[in-house]
Amino acid sequence: MPRVNEPRPSVTAAVVAATLLLLRDDPELGHLVDRRTLDAIARAIREPLPGVGWALDRVPWPLLRRAALGLERAVSPGFVAHYALRKDMIRTRLLAAIADGHRQVVLVGAGFDMLGASVPDEARVFEVDLPATQAAKRRAGVDGRGVVFVPLDLARGSLRAALLAAPGFDPRSDTVFVAEGLLMYLERASVEAIFSDMAELEGRVRLVASVVTPDARGRVRLHSQRAVVDLCMRLLGERFRWGESPERLERTLAAYGLELETVSSTTERRAAASAARPRRPTGEVIVVASGRGRPRRRPKAGRSAQSGDTGTLDLATADAPTATAGLATEFAETGSPA
């Protein structure tokens, strides 16, 4: 849920969702997509991406798909495969949390990719997002089965307060929070406020999130994207603001009573990708953390021991706990394209 300068739906959220459409006929990656969501995605992205809507109506699909994949290779090689693999990994971890008894699902920065459609009926879904993004989904008629919309700009408001005001939300119920493609758009204080709000709940909490690690020059960006993408994101007012190495993230979470359990990357799933697709590491990882709620001591948001620290992970010297093990391949290539 990127913070934007005007009350409009998030363009980057729509672009990420649109990439899933490209996999509809993909023989290698098509199985990663929840096909129940594709029609809804195609309707929802038309308002924030009117040019894509026009092309979907007028350009033959094989030609449109070929052009889109060509653009991907030019500006951010491998990002379509990365987003598909990221979505599948997050969906798998979400379903595991539900199977473990978490009956409330909070999609923080839900965007346009309709993850709520993958949630089984026994869990209640709350979508937290910018009011403009939620309004666009309603106008497209894709507000979802039994989904409770919670309008909130996380850069300015309290997640906990918004959830407590939402109909049907129970702070005593075990809850899984999903923050996919969100945290990097927020300032550190806002990220830590989310962790703090999670820890204030009374039931068990689990976080499933994607986190961007800074590149070799300390920049918070996908390591595989070109400079033109950085420029476009700045012009849209949707640039990345926060990133952290897994070992330092572990300490940040611990400050709020959350234990980092696993760290993984789409690199681990690349056996599912076509050999012809670029396989440059993106620097984005999927993390799972859990807590019991209401730890006895908690620093104020933005005041963790490493506040302002966005260094890169040094696997050769890091004294990192086991949750960060096995990621050497993701960070082996530390360079970044020009």
Predicted pLDDT of residue 78: 78
Residue 233 confidence class, pLDDT cut points 50, 70, 90: low
Structure-token pair, residue 110: 């839900």
Take residue 305 and report the two structure tokens written for it: 């021991």
pLDDT at 324 > cutoff 90: no
Q: Does an H or E element contain 125, and which? A: strand 124-129
Helices 61-75 & 79-99 angle (0-180, nearest 10): 100
> Measured between alpha carbons, how far is 264 from 84 in angstroms, rounded to an integer?
15
Q: Which CATH superfamily includes the segment(s) 11-331?
A: Vaccinia Virus protein VP39 (3.40.50.150)
Determine the straight-line distance between the first and last CA of the chain, rounded to whole angstroms.
27
Domain locations along the chain: 11-331
Q: Are the beta carbons of 40 and 46 closer than 8 angstroms?
A: no
The CA distance from 113 to 42, in Å, is 10
pLDDT tens per residue across span 82-135: 888 889 999 999 999 999 999 999 999 999 888 988 899 999 999 999 999 999
Is 102 in contact with 206 (CB distance < 8 Å)?
A: yes
What are the φ and ψ backbone dihedral angles of 38, each rounded to 5 degrees?
A: -65, -40
Nearest to 85 by CA among 214, 191, 181, 177: 181
| 170-192: b (≥16 Cβ within 10 Å) or e | eeebbbbbbbbbbbbbbebebbb
How does residue 270 score in pLDDT terms, banded at 50, 70 and 90? Answer: low
Query: What is the spatial distance between Cα 268 and Cα 26, in angstroms, rounded to a whole number?
Result: 20
The string of pLDDT tens digits covering residues 32-48 is: 888 888 888 999 999 99
Band of the pLDDT at 53, cuts 50, 70, 90?
A: very high
Q: Does the structure show a pLDDT above 60 at 274?
A: no
3-class DSSP state of 209: strand
Q: How far apart are CA 204 and CA 198, in angstroms?
A: 9
In the numeric block, which tokens belong to residue 5? 């300068």
pLDDT category at 31 given cuts 50, 70, 90 is confident
Residue 50 has pLDDT above 60, yes or no: yes
Q: Which two tokens stand for residue 24?
A: 């509809």
Q: Is 17 helix (H, G, I), strand (E, B) or coil?
A: helix
How far is Cα 50 from Cα 45, in angstroms, rounded to an integer? Answer: 8
State the average pLDDT for the chain. 80
DSSP character string of 281-313: --SEEEEEEEE-S--S--PPTT-STTTT--PPP
Can you say how many angstroms the Cα of residue 298 is from the centroid of all Cα atoms in its chain? 25
The distance of Cα 13 from the centroid of its chain, to the nearest Å, equals 9
Provide the 8-state DSSP code for 130. -
**pLDDT at residue 28 above 60?**
yes
Q: Which residue has the tokens 């939620």?
A: 134
Using an 8 Å Cβ cutoff, are 183 and 2 in contact?
A: no
16-25, 83-92, 287-296: the lowest-pLDDT one = 287-296
With a CB cutoff of 8 Å and minimum separation 6, the contacts of 201 are 160, 171, 172, 175, 293, 294
Cβ count near 203 (within 10 Å): 17
Reported confidence tier of residue 231, pLDDT bands at 50, 70, 90: low
